[in-house]
Amino acid sequence: MDGMSGYDVIVIGAGASGLMAALQLAKAGKKVQVLEARARLGGRIYTTTDAGGNGQLELGAEFIHGNLPETQQLLKEAGLTYHEVAGEMWRMEKGALVKSEMFIPDWPLLVKQLELLQEDITLESFLQQYFPGERYSGLRKAVENYAAGYDNADASNASVFALRKEWLQEEDAPQYRIDKGYGSMIAFMAENITALGSQIIVNALVKEIHWQPGKVTVHTEEGSYYIANKIVIALPLGVLQANAKQEAAVAFMPVIDKLEQAFHQVGMGAVIKILIEFAPAFYQQLLQEKGLQHMQFLFSEELIDTWWTQVPQQQPVFTGWLGGFKAKKHLHASSETLLQMALQSLATILQTEVAVLQQHVTASKVANWTEDTFTLGSYSYATVETPAALPLIEQGLADTLYFAGEAFYQGSYTGTVEAALVSGKQAALKALQA
């Protein structure tokens, strides 16, 4: 068994939150050891290059959802540029494509009722109570689909207060993409961490964390162990919620019962993301024929129901998105099955034949994040129980164990890279102050 000691802090997980925590600690002069189970860095950030070599594509996080201070400050430090994403919103209704600026029909009616709500309840209860009967069946379905798609949230336990806060603040928020992809931001943080004398190890799957006040010993699957004074655990919520039989599950010794209970009081979403790249000439002609040259988002009721393009960039790519309960239905589907579902959905929406689309596909990628061993979900959402759980998690344990990640962020930008960065920074500051 190989052992390594002499570290001030160990960070588990080299996603955005873990790397931000490690960077802050390293800047403060601490010797940090980052352990990452995957062979790559970034976690749910996974930037790839398109088949034409013309730009970056995101299999994971893609957008900057508004003017987000931590994200934009980090991009500025890294010298990375980004562009605003603006285009038309379309919807498929009764077999026809129509331009629509509202994600949800009767949006003003929904907003009015949301603003009047005095006590937090689940989304399902809210819809049943305030929009009952056949008259509102379309609105209920649209809201549940939007919550599942955008927030990856389950209506049966999602907090209406949390959704209200998010939905109402984001009505006019600009969206951006990073020109070189989120992966460039990850690379910048990693380079700075190592330049400051700390270390990042990949293919290091942590299985056990033995802890006592002021000391942690971390054991990995391959038999190595690492010793430090403190630890920042920046694992996805899905991994922290995993049962002991799942490969990525981590055992705490002694157990942390109250915190594990708190982990389960936060919701973890599900998502499948499918990128289909076409021959450029075919793609442009198809969009032009359908009047979709400026289409940004398109919503439908097909199996893969949400689609978007790279507008204003000209990359010939359609991105399909299936979130929430719909993604869970296809959790164990093969990548080939999911790709065929996507092509069939796209063919129906664009009123063409699957064979015609297949003939012009140049590349495709499927990311089933909920099936992914080291993620086990997409991003978090608040349940009615979450507000009580988060302060407990944020405290950590014995000035020794700290937790970071988008799921543990308490602010207005839940489920985002911004949330991950803020949480990572806050965990590092707590570790430094203790």
Q: Give the model confidence (pLDDT) of 414-432 as tens digits.
A: 999 999 999 999 999 999 9
pLDDT band at 93 (very low <50, low <70, confident <90, very high): confident
pLDDT the model gives residue 52: 72
216-231: average pLDDT: 97
152-169: average pLDDT: 94
Reading the block at residue 204, the tokens are: 């290091």
pLDDT the model gives residue 2: 61
Within 100-212, strands assigned E span 175-178, 199-201, 206-212
pLDDT the model gives residue 3: 63
HSE-up of residue 56 (Cα within 13 Å, Cβ side): 19
Say if residues 432 and 30 touch (Cβ distance below 8 Å). Answer: yes
For residue range 119-133, what is the model confidence (pLDDT) as tens digits?
999 999 999 999 999
pLDDT the model gives residue 412: 86
For residue range 293-322, what is the model confidence (pLDDT) as tens digits?
999 999 999 999 999 999 999 899 999 999
For residue range 260-276, what is the model confidence (pLDDT) as tens digits?
999 999 999 999 999 99
Closest CA to 4 of 241, 227, 273: 227
Confirm whether residue 206 is marked as ligand binding: yes
d(CA 200, CA 205): 13
394-409: average pLDDT: 98
d(CA 236, CA 183): 18
pLDDT the model gives residue 67: 93
Q: Please state which CATH number belongs to domain 3-44+181-267+383-433.
A: 3.50.50.60
Write down how long the chain is.
Answer: 434
pLDDT the model gives residue 170: 64
Q: Which residues of 171-190 are buried (b: 16+ CB within 10 A; e: fewer)?
A: eeeebbbbebbbbbbbbbbb
pLDDT the model gives residue 171: 63
Mean pLDDT taken over the chain = 95
What is the DSSP code string of 338-383? HHHHHHHHHHHHHTS-HHHHHHTEEEEEEEETTT-TTT-SS-EEEB
Pinpoint the residues of the chain covered by CATH 3.50.50.60.
3-44+181-267+383-433
d(CA 9, CA 126): 44
Within 24-158, strands assigned E span 32-35, 47-49, 56-58, 64-65, 82-85, 88-93, 96-99
CA–CA distance from 215 to each of 228, 258, 385 (Å)? 6, 20, 31
Using DSSP, state whether 216 is helix, strand or coil. strand
- 394 pLDDT higher than 80: yes
d(CA 9, CA 282): 53
Q: Running DSSP on this structure, what letter comes out for residue 154?
A: -
pLDDT the model gives residue 316: 96
Confirm whether residue 37 is marked as ligand binding: yes
- 53 pLDDT higher than 80: no
385-407: average pLDDT: 98
Reading the block at residue 380, the tokens are: 């978090």
Residue 363 region by backbone torsions, left for phi larger than 0, else alpha for psi between -120 and 50, else beta = beta
d(CA 425, CA 434): 15
Closest CA to 182 of 308, 71, 309: 71
